[in-house]
Structure 1
């Protein structure tokens, strides 16, 4: 397990480094082509490769880091019960969306994110739904569970609220991701119908909330007998992944798009970044284990969440 932890942090570090290098390439180098022209041939070739496959690499590294973290902290079965619905339903939603325009509006993917499933959706896109979705849901659930610990709110009610909260956190990321990835100097997809909300149709946001809520709701149903409450220390990786991926889109949007695009960035901070940090701060300090609770306890309000506390 220690080796897995090392691999987890190596992948996370590589994910963050790739985000930083991607930002440097998109925000600094591309607007100044003379910087590339001054590079030796090997440097120019490496830059071309990084621009062609960098998006795919950073998503893969993020998904691997979060998957290993989930396996270590929750176990293989709970991880699979979230991963399978997240990957399957997000891919289905994207395939329908790129084919019919429902539920996100009419759009299409360009190159740069890897092999396209059915020639429509890069295989990395469902991976990004998975790892950001898991981070968003667990942050929302852990914070809400702690916030309602002294209230007469059963675990089922908290899970329902967390599904909504997690879907909103996920959509807050899209508020900065879509402008950065579709309207900046180096786009990865584009909307075929220009929407009134900074180039995005409003139904794109509804599609994000709906898709996220569906696969999070299915996972919450599968997890209904799990005693699931994570500590701040355990939630460091999901928080870092969420904040850094948000920052990636926000920096590109602010740096490359007109000043009015600061509005969706500020809105994303308000409904995404701040609540995510608050949820993390409300989580308990002690590490806790995750185990299945007896069926008869599942519907009891106030059922003890902490199966065992393991302070470090």
Structure 2
């Protein structure tokens, strides 16, 4: 992330800096432009995939990742070819090979790792409230989708209006160049794949000890911070404030609620299932990744 920010915000707008670089520096810069975004998203996906496997097991890891990647890809392909549900837009270069010539393969990966991070924090944060399990499940889907959309409040203006944009809007809108429909599409896509994941999780009910949520929190905040720096560098401030109110503050509150509860985390309405207390290895994650 830091390498990408330096290239986009410092080196790219100042071509004289590139000219002054030694040959190895010019080569590194060209590599970063060609594949920096791809590596960044591959590493994010890998980190969350390993975390989900270690804390929830194979079924619950794949039960979230496969719907997240598959359904978000379908939504993106539909959006880039028809304009529904996000509006009319198209991807440029810089994010890797395009599936069907429309959507970079890395985009569905980011839907997974940010969506999972948002959902798991929301779900375990709500677990401390004395409400029925189905209320927590629906609440986590809604809040997780809001957190996901809040990231896009900041990400979309930054990535479409930077000196080197990664996508462009053919349907300009009132929200810093993009239509409000885009956010309805983000929220709806999040709700759909999180709902499918929750239904798949019910096939193998699971109760876990309190989970270390450091990695999901760092993943959410670092990605939000990356987009924030990009937006502010372009002089775009209101989306950042909106994202902080609807994304950063709620995710930190939910993280603290989850960290302060000693209850078992239940992913099932059935408290007497065949997996009464499955203990999986818990990922112990530090402050960086």
What TM-score, normalized to structure 1? Answer: 0.84
The alpha-carbon deviation at position 214 of structure 1 amounts to 0.5
- Match of 1:108, SS state, is strand
1:118-267 equivalence runs, <5 A: 118-146=100-128, 148=129, 151=130, 153-224=131-202, 226-227=205-206, 231=210, 234-255=212-233, 257-258=234-235, 261-267=236-242
3-state SS of paired residue (1:190)? strand
Q: Measure, in 2, the Cα distance between the counterparts of 1:201 and 1:277.
A: 28
Mind listing any 5+ residue stretches in structure 1 that lack a counterpart? 1-18, 299-304
CA distance in 2, matches of 1:195, 1:33: 31
Note the C-alpha offset of 1:295: 4.3
Q: Distance in 1 between matches of 2:135 and 2:272?
A: 14
TM-aligned CA deviation for residue 227 of structure 1: 3.9
3-state SS of 1:178 partner:
helix
Residue number among 79, 92, 97 corresponding to 1:97 in the alignment: 79
- Gap change, CA 1:80 and 1:288, over 3 Å in 2: farther
**Counterpart position of 1:25:** 7
C-alpha distance in 2, partners of 1:34/1:214?
47
Change in 2 beyond 3 A, CA 1:309/1:91: closer
Aligned pairs (5 A) from 1:281-296: 281-285=256-260, 295=270
Is structure 2 residue 245 aligned with structure 1 residue 270? yes
Q: Which has the bigger relative contact order, CA under 8 A and spacing at least 6?
A: 2
Contact 1:184 1:252 in 2 (8 A): yes
- Cα shift readout 1:68-88 (whole Å, capped 9, x = no counterpart): 011011111110110111011
**What is the aligned length?**
280
Q: Distance in 2 between matches of 1:177 and 1:231?
A: 31
Shift of 1:231: 3.7
Measure, in 1, the Cα distance between the counterparts of 2:12 and 2:66: 37
TM-score normalised by structure 2 residue count: 0.90
Q: Secondary structure at the match of 1:85?
A: helix
- Distance of aligned partners of 1:139 and 1:293 in 2 relative to their CA distance in 1, 3 Å threshold: closer
Q: Which residue of 2 aligns with 1:116?
A: 98
Deviations 1:178-205 (A, max 9, x none): 0111111110001101111111100000
How far 1:29 sits from its partner (Å)? 1.4
* Contact residue 118 and residue 251 of structure 2 kept, 8 A: yes
Give, in whole Å, the separation in 1 of the partners of 2:63 and 2:280.
Answer: 24
Would the alpha carbon gap of residues 81 and 36 (structure 1) be closer, same or farther in structure 2, given more than 3 Å must change?
same
Question: Equivalents in 1 of 2:100, 2:224: separation in Å?
Answer: 28
Residue equivalent to 1:301: none
